[in-house]
Amino acid sequence: MRKFSHLDWEQVIEVNLTSVFLLDQLAGQVMLEKRKGKIINIASLQSFIGGWRIPAYAAAKGGVARMTMTLANEWAARGVNVNAIAPGYMDTDMDQA
Residues carrying an active site annotation? 57
Domains and CATH numbers, the chain: 6-89 (3.40.50.720)
Average pLDDT for residues 3-26, to the nearest whole number?
A: 96
Residues contacting 82, CB < 8 A, separation 6+: 24, 28, 38, 39, 41, 68, 71, 72, 75, 76
CB 58 within 8 A of CB 9: no
pLDDT bracket for residue 92 (50, 70, 90) = confident
Confidence at residue 90, expressed as pLDDT on a 0 to 100 scale: 77
- Taking only the tens place, the pLDDT of each residue in 40-76 is 999 999 999 987 888 999 999 999 999 999 999 999 9
